[in-house]
Every structure is written in C-alpha cells, then in structure tokens.
A and B are shown apart, each in its own frame.
Chain A
C-alpha cells in the first residue's frame, strides 16, 4: 500500500480525529491513501461511517498497542 499522507490524531478526543481526517483528506487526490492514527475509541465506528458517507474506502484497519490505524483511500 502506498501511503500518501499520515495524520497523527492520537490523544485527540471526539470530534477532532474525524475533523482532522476530513481536512487531511481535502489535501490529497482521488485514489491516494491517508493513514490515520487515533486513540479515541469513538473513531472505531465514526471514521468508517464518515468514510462511507463520502464514498471513501477503508483499505485496512488495525489496532496496535492501543493505537487505532486506518488506511483510507480517497474517492
């Protein structure tokens, strides 16, 4: 997977991880991949739901040492 940009949203509370994800998405092109790191558990359901809304694809999602990783391909 080719990661275009990484957003570190660890330590941020809802709604900031999704707000920052949206802003970061605005800076990359269609087909490119944004990596998002977050610690707020709310993102587990909210980032996929937000991505679906914009037609973006979650290529991969994992948890490592309490950090959540999302790989989102822009629509």
Chain B
C-alpha cells in the first residue's frame, strides 16, 4: 500500500469543509492532551510511536478502513515510520508533512467580505494555533492587522492581488505568538503601528497607534479607525473598518473574552477590561461584525471557515459579556486562569525586539495553543 503525504493546507481544507478524518497521533500522551489538530468531524487515536516499535498489529483493528487515516507527530519523522509500518501491514494511510510544526505555521486566507468599489477584507486563519490576522485591500493598497510571523504569506498574497502594503498594525504587544508586523513593514516600506502604552520597552522605531487614528486604504478611502480598548494589555486597541467590522484584537472573542494577566498585571487591568467590554463596546453599533485575533475552539469557526459574529449577538451569547456583578467579573478573569501560553515571556521579548531567536527557536516558542482567553 502506498504511503501518502498530506500538506497542512490539505488538512486545513478538511477542517474548513467539515470533512471526516481519522487522526493517528503518535506523539506522547502529554503533547496530545495539550494540543492537537482540531476538526468538527475528526476522530483520534493517540498511541506514542515508541509503543509501536515492535509492530503495529495491535492497533490495526482500531483504525477505520472506510475513511482517511492521517498519521501525525511533532516534526514528521515518527509519523513516516509508523505510516510505513501500517503500509506494510496492508493499510493505505497518509502522514502530515512537517508534522505539528507545519500545522502550527499554516495560514489559510479566507475572504470575510467584499468592500465598496472592489475592496476586500481577508481573514488569515492559523488553524493550528488559533491566531487570526487580517488584510484590507482597496484599489491597489493594503493594510494588515495582527500579522503572524510568516511574512511571506502576506507579502505573496499582496503580490497575487497586485496591491502595495501601506500600513501594518498590531492591536497590542502579543504574548502568544511572534508578530510579523515590523518585518513586513521593513520589507515593504509600509508604516508599522503599535500602541505606545504597550511599546515602552521596544527597541525599534514604530508609529504610535493612538485612539482615533484614522487611515484610508485606496482611492475609495476604506476607513480603518483605531479605538483605544485596554484590558488584555494596557495598550490594546481595536479597529473599526468601513463602519462595518470591529477588529477586537485579544479583548473580545466569539465564545470568550481576553485575559488580563499575560503582561503580569491582571489585578490592575481588570477595571480596564470591564470598561472596554461593558461600556466602550456597548456604545458601538450592534450590527458591527466582530473579528477577533484568536479563536480557542473549532466550534467558533463559521461554516465558511471564518471566525466572525455580530456584536449584538455576542452581547446575547458570550458569557464574558453577561456577568452583571463586578466582583464576580473580577474573579472570573483573575482566578483560575488557564495555563499561560508556551514561552509567553520570551515571545513578548521577541516582539519588543529584545531577543532575536532563529527560526527553529521561534517554532519551539510558538508550539501549543494560544491561550489568550478566559471563558
């Protein structure tokens, strides 16, 4: 039987198209429990590769023959070995090229909406990490918000679309993933913006992203307006695009809200977080489509793979927006927080420009889920 090789892009299609898949994850149990490839209709079997060194006969009855079987490991090597053993045992299986490393790195650009005069808004979904980046395109120009560190994904997409990247924004100093923002700006000559209150320790030049800042994209002047919305960090800033879309960064998600502790100041920022969620956002139009910088669980994806919900609906459905009692709210976002993202302190240092790890070190730092939310 042949051993097939699947790319992360092929797996991403299975997730977005809601297809079935059986994943044989051969990493150790802790790694699997911590983080795996999530799909609406995926089934899993976790058997570490080192339990299969003497043969795969024992697991054959547990593997379906009527659906695709994908063998997954951390980097690829062990999944190739196990896939070959299964193949010799007469099963047709595939392995994931590059393993969880490549899954963590893959970005799928999905169109959220058409804007006036041929403009477009894209969401870049990083399924493996739950990170969301955005690109606004209008008449030959583009703006990028919360770019992942894979700068090629954005610059190549801009090239395909024949647009020049003019503005690159980060809604805040990220702690869960490494920003590609300033590198894209350096490469393309675009302006790089960062909220000054998050940037007190950065060692590079940036343009301050302040409340009320407004840039126009393209001749039809698609509006990108900044709204100061602290709470996840003290500088956290949202964007309203074309009066239709609210990019909330790590303040408000679909099924959760931002956590205030990743820069170490949970107690101090609880008040800001509440003010943003319960006052500032409340004053905005309910028809705004909320586009966050993360999702936590696969159920937050819409049918087309985007992560987006009407603000008015979130005020009805999102538990974090419906905690009447301030004291209870404070407890919710400061007590019993989930574990912090992998290497979050180092990642902040990278995003400040203080340390410059090589690509392999960056991959290691970004392993695992984003964990930026509290539910």
A interface residues, Cβ below 8 angstroms from B: 13-16, 18-19, 22, 41-42, 45-46, 49-50, 53
Contacts and interface: CB of A to CB of B under 8 A. Distances in A.
Contact of B53 (A13, A14, A22, A45): A22
> What DSSP secondary structure best describes chain A's contact surface?
helix
Contacts of A14: 49, 73-75, 77-78
Q: A15, A19, A42, A50 — which one has the most chain B CB atoms within 10 A of its CB?
A: A15
B321 interface: no
A39 B78 CA distance: 16
B31 A45 contact: yes
Contacts of B81: 15, 19
Nearest to B50: A50
Given A14-B74, A16-B77, A53 B28 contact: no
A18 B50 contact: yes
B75 A49 contact: no
A15 B99 CA distance: 13
B51 A46 contact: no
B244 to A, nearest CB: 46
B160 interface: no
Chain B interface bracket (under 10, 10 to 19, 20 to 34, 35 or more)? 10 to 19
A15 B50 CA distance: 8
30 contacts: A13-B75, A13-B77, A14-B49, A14-B73, A14-B75, A15-B49, A15-B50, A15-B73, A15-B77, A15-B81, A16-B77, A18-B49, A18-B50, A18-B53, A19-B53, A19-B81, A22-B50, A22-B53, A41-B364, A42-B74, A42-B75, A45-B28, A46-B28, A46-B48, A49-B29, A49-B48, A49-B50, A50-B48, A53-B50, A53-B51
A16 B49 CA distance: 11
Contacts of B324: none
Nearest to A23: B53
A42 B31 CA distance: 10
Nearest to B81: A15
Nearest to A48: B28
A46 B50 contact: yes
A61 B31 CA distance: 20
Interface in B4-43: 28-31
B2 to A, nearest CB: 21
Nearest to A51: B50
Given A22-B53, A46-B48, A53-B50, A15 B78 contact: yes
Contact of A49 (B28, B74, B77, B78): B28
Contacts of A53: 50-51
Nearest to B75: A14
Contacts of B73: 14-15
Contacts of A46: 28, 48, 50
Nearest to B360: A41
A49 B78 CA distance: 15
